[in-house]
Amino acid sequence: MSKIVVVGSLNFDTSIHVPHLPAKGETIIASHLSLHHGGKGANQAVAIARLGGQVSFIGAVGNDENGHQLINGLKKAGVDTTGIAIKDNAHTGMAFVCVAHSGENNIIVYPGTNYRITKEDIDRNRPLITDADYCLLQLEIPFEIVRYVIGICHEAKVKVVLNPAPVSADFDDRILAHVDYILPNETELAMMVGESVTMENIGKLASSLLAKGCGHAIVTLGENGSFLVDPVRQEHFPAVKVKAVDTTAAGDSFIGAFTYRLASGDRIDEAIRFATKAAAITVTRHGAQDALPSLEEVKNWLV
């Protein structure tokens, strides 16, 4: 079986449910609180493991209760966690999500140890990267680390899948020369190219990523599905029509499932169709990692 390595973030998420989002200076009482394991890197690794993929993780947590819980969660899902560094004197990454009863939310992310990953941490785990067939990255860790890992992948001929989320000011599109598959959502694509995305211009905008050296671009469009641009085609893949109850981790589910299927030998269009189905199942369930489907669930799911 092909090996996948994810180099990315782990967060301990606290969701606070409130009648309305607090105004400046206002104190309000929450109706309930829920705790979840998150971080785009960890969610995508769990998505792959739950489908049966062979996946290892490189990242960092603090030497605290949250960090140990996150590692145990990944282990339980079947992810190889030997590449996770435990840092003293720093907190594990956290996300604080405030959800109003109307569904509106605001989110504060404290990156914590996700921003403490160093090149030495990567070097210590180099074999996990060089022995892998695919390396999956997001941008919730320092950009210089993402660039460093992509360089190692290039030398070792490991295929790179990049989810450019979130796009920040230090994003340097020269890395695209060594990215095989890039999967932004439409907001991230707009930020990368400096133009808003419509169904009319999406092909042209995604092609501009290919002009910078990236092999294939797949733009995810929420309930409108996804759009593939590669050297030989431009194709829209509609989403599966479902009653969505919670779209958290839809993107992570799609990207994990896509990478898993590519690593299993699927053609790109087959991998996108499978990922579309996996993500549709995810949005019919509450939660993030809890909502990610198993291989049997995707195979047996009748739309």
Can you give the binding site for ligand ATP, defined by CB under 6 A?
185, 220-223, 225-226, 239-240, 242, 244, 247-252, 254, 276, 279-280, 283
Q: How far is the CB of 175 from ligand ATP (least distance, A)?
A: 19
CB of 146 to ligand ATP, least distance (A): 17
Comparing every residue's Cβ against ligand ATP, the nearest one is 251
Closest to 5 (Cα-Cα) out of 138, 159, 132:
132
| Long-range contacts at 239-243 (CB < 8 A, ≥ 24 apart) | 239/276, 239/279, 239/280, 240/276, 240/277, 240/280, 240/303, 241/303, 242/280, 242/281, 242/283, 242/284, 242/303, 243/284
CB half-sphere exposure, 57, CA atoms < 13 A? 33
Is 252 considered catalytic here?
yes
Q: Which is nearer to ligand ATP, 210 or 244 (CB)?
A: 244
Q: How far is the CB of 182 from ligand ATP (least distance, A)?
A: 13
Nearer to ligand ATP, 119 or 299 (CB): 299
CB of 253 to ligand ATP, least distance (A): 7
Nearer to ligand ATP, 16 or 244 (CB): 244
Check 170, 246, 252, 290 and give the catalytic one. Answer: 252
Query: CA–CA distance from 74 to each of 49, 82, 184 (Å)?
Result: 9, 11, 24
Residue with Cβ nearer ligand ATP (9 or 220): 220
Nearer to ligand ATP, 132 or 228 (CB): 228
Residue 225: what are its φ and ψ, rounded to 5°?
90, -135
**Residue labelled with tokens 């206002």:** 26
Q: Are 40 and 163 in contact (CB under 8 A)?
A: yes
User: Cβ of residue 196: shortest distance to ligand ATP, in angstroms?
Assistant: 15
Which residue lies nearer to ligand ATP by CB, 173 or 246? 246
- Least distance from ligand ATP to the Cβ atom of residue 243, Å: 9
HSE of 302 in the Cβ direction (CA atoms, 13 Å)?
0
Own/partner pairs, 231-240, CB within 8 angstroms, 24+ separation: 234/203, 234/206, 234/207, 235/269, 236/199, 237/269, 237/272, 237/273, 237/276, 238/276, 239/276, 239/279, 239/280, 240/276, 240/277, 240/280, 240/303
Peptide bond into 142 cis (omega under 30): no
Q: Catalytic residue positions? A: 252
